[in-house]
Amino acid sequence: MKVVSYNVNGIRAAMNKGLIDWLSAVDADVVCFQEIKATEDQIDTEALRALGYAHQYYFSAEKKGYSGVAILSKNAPDNVVFGTGIAYMDREGRNLRADFGAFSVMSMYLPSGTNTDRLDYKFTYMDDFLEYAKQLTRDRSKLLVVGDYNICHEAIDIHDPIRNKNVSGFLPEERAWMSRFLESGFVDSFRVFNQDPHNYTWWSYRANARANNKGWRLDYAMASSDLAEHLKRSVILSEAVHSDHCPILTELS
């Protein structure tokens, strides 16, 4: 099974930049989007269905043009869960899960804390999500949580760790939370296969950051411990340029 995760920073804009042709070439079994910034009726679902994604699930934010996640799959899931049941999270459309037999995949868009008034919100979300994930893996032990975590875990995951040490996304408290999340029973699938520096998934639109590879690794495929033995490949697809993020791909046996 091939699972792609992509923060598209507006699915309609990404589709106008060639997203459909790219998805056709990648031919993933499951596609998880974050930051779709649209409702289902605003999306060209037929173009996606023509690629074989007969099963499409959208969880949009209450606020128009904001946040939102989606899961597309070629095979029908047994069960789909919209949100976490935690009201403040679900109003922003940040979590969507699909179950395929014993395997589950969640598309997650963790809040950004770049605005000061949102940093406390981000920390609350992080703490509540960690507890939610711990409970969830008791019932769904083979779980893959993919998406934009809006955190660089280690210095290797950011182009300038010294200058960014006090910037949200690389704060000590955020990095410590990521460690706690992994310690709770998850593995960073990309780092299972690749320990090299300079691998990023997001670049600012400013100062020619992407061309100079001055990026941040914010997008992850976190596999539960029971799922880790099924990992075959986990890569960053940096050639895709439909967004300020690039997609990641995880292959499972």
For residue 150, the tally of other CB atoms under 10 A from its CB is: 23
Tell me the C-alpha distance between 106 and 211, whole Å: 31
Domain edges within the chain: 2-252
Mean pLDDT of the chain: 97
Residue 115: what pLDDT?
77
148 is an active site residue = yes
Q: Please, which pLDDT band fits residue 194 given cuts at 50, 70 and 90?
A: very high
Q: Which CATH number fits domain 2-252: 1.25.40.340, 3.60.10.10, 3.40.50.2300, 3.30.565.10?
A: 3.60.10.10
Query: Residue 19 class from Cβ within 10 Å (0-12 exposed, 13-18 middle, 19+ buried)?
Result: buried
Residue 22: what pLDDT?
98
Q: Please, which pLDDT band fits residue 116 given cuts at 50, 70 and 90?
A: confident
* Cross-strand partners of 143: 104
Residue 7 reports pLDDT greater than 90: yes
Query: Interior CA angle at 205 toward 31 and 212, to 5°?
Result: 95
**Portion of the chain with pLDDT greater than 90, in percent:** 98
Residue 242: what pLDDT?
98
Q: Which residue type sits at 199?
A: N
Residue 166 reports pLDDT greater than 90: yes
Q: pLDDT by residue (tens digit) across 60-77?
A: 999 999 999 999 999 999
Residue 235: what pLDDT?
98
β-strand pairing of 2-7 with 30-34 = parallel
Name the active-site residue from 99, 148, 157, 188: 148
Tokens of 100: 């395929």
